Structure 1
Amino acid sequence: MFFLEVVDQTIKKLKCQTANVLTLTNLGLGGYAIIVGLKGNLNLSLLLIFIAALADRFDGMVARRFNIESELGKQLDSMSDIISFGVAPALLLYQGILHEFGAPGIFFTVFYIGCGAFRLARFNITECNGYFTGLPITAAGCLVTLSFLVIPYSPPQTFFFLIILLSFLMVSSFKLKKV
């Protein structure tokens, strides 16, 4: 009987941490994407960002399914998202093309990251009402990452425009229904 209680408590504790483990997986993949991107392995960086997006998708689903949503989980998710969908995609695009613009390329790479951080902070202090205000950083980060694939086929100015546009969309006040 005692053994079954211990096993049951252990399973409950593991279940409670499942979403956080997925969130930390997202964070780790984003951090790894940054490191390999800085070392020049941009294709691997791209792949790691997309795997991080999968982990990010599942952490919220798991938290809702097991009814383990928490303020800690929400904050941890945002900190992970700024790494995986803010810093990692921005550096990927910087390494891939934006470096060609010199100081403006650096400025708008950092500007994108700042807008993403602002977007996440605003999300964390607002009530959940079924809508996002502004473009979610996960969507912006995936678009930036996807754009890397068309660098050989598009003029460099396209990417400069894209990172500026996505930055402003993240901090804009338009409403987007959650799906």
Structure 2
Amino acid sequence: MRIKRHIPNFITLLNLFSGSLAVIFAVKGNLVLAAIFVAAGIFFDFFDGLAARLLNVKSEVGLQLDSLADVVTSGVVPGIVMYQLLNKALPSASGLAADWESSLFDVQIKPLALIGLFIILASAYRLAKFNVDEKQTDSFIGLPTPANALLILSLPLIMTYQLVPMVTALLMNEWFLIGLTLVSCYLLNAELPLFALKFSDWSFGANKMRYLFLLTCVLLIIYLQFIAIPVIILLYVLLSMISNRKEIKS
């Protein structure tokens, strides 16, 4: 019985371990491996909650541990990745950037690239709100941190494995990256109800939108590969907004 109680927490720690490895690779500039370990962490993040429900061993410690792991995997890593992308996209400059380079142990830091770290702050704030918000049991308010992490981590994967010149040029544009960072931070904490992919039963009638969304995701991934990820996140937000309008009208 005692071992059963710790199984979900062990899975959560695997999430944290994966996120910690992703941090190492993100800092070293290997954004593809960082994306792979974030994906592994999100996989464990899904199954720790599922294990807790199946084993009926939910706990307050598990809830807090889950958020702490998510801060690393779905907050710190995408923030560092966005910083790295901005650091590459921004032109080399003299003045302040050069001063920072000479004073920080020969590590070049472009001050504007630090905007990417706002994702860490917005993710941590969202997770803190989530822990005390009793309204987010059957749905989400604001974009979940794992979805946001997948959005950000899809960028280096697209640029590495789908060499479309126009897309690459857009993704390496500093103003696009800054804009995406600010939109990401807003969506994480916006008062925007989004449907959750939790099934209370397996009937089609009660879960029509979920089934259609999952089927669409599969088709998009088959045809668009990594480009499908930002398209899916956008679709997720739009479908939630449409669903909310229908509920208000009814």
TM range (shorter): 0.7 to 0.9
Q: Does 1:22 align with 2:22?
A: no
Cα offset, 1:132, TM superposition: 1.1
Structure 2 partner of 1:137: 145
Unaligned runs of 5+ in 2: 91-109, 198-250
Structure 1 partner of 2:116: 109
Match of 1:159 among 177, 184, 208: 177
- The TM-score normalised by the length of structure 2 is 0.63
Higher relative contact order (CA 8 A, sep 6+): 1
Query: What residue identity is the alignment partner of 1:93?
Result: M
Structure 2 partner of 1:6: none
Q: Does 1:120 align with 2:137?
A: no
CA contact (8 A) 2:15 2:73 kept: yes
Cα offset, 1:165, TM superposition: 0.8
Alignment of 1:69-84 (within 5 A): 69-84=58-73
Q: Does 1:98 align with 2:89?
A: no
Q: Partners of 1:154 and 1:49 in 2: how far apart?
A: 25
Q: Partners of 2:12 and 2:169 in 1: how far apart?
A: 34
Q: Does 1:178 align with 2:196?
A: yes
Q: Partners of 1:73 and 1:52 in 2: how far apart?
A: 16
Structure 2 partner of 1:49: 38
Change (3 A) 1:56 1:143: same
Query: What residue identity is the alignment partner of 1:139?
Result: A
Cα offset, 1:110, TM superposition: 2.0
Instruction: Write out the 4+ residue segments of structure 1 that deviate beyond 6 Å after TM superposition.
Output: none
Higher gyration radius (CA):
2
Query: What residue identity is the alignment partner of 1:58?
Result: F
Query: What residue identity is the alignment partner of 1:175?
Result: P
Q: Identity over aligned residues, as a percent?
A: 33
Structure 1 partner of 2:53: 64
Over the aligned positions, Cα root-mean-square deviation in angstroms equals 1.5
CA contact (8 A) 1:134 1:172 kept: yes
Cα offset, 1:150, TM superposition: 2.8
Structure 2 partner of 1:149: 157
Count of aligned positions: 166
Q: Partners of 2:126 and 2:71 in 1: how far apart?
A: 10
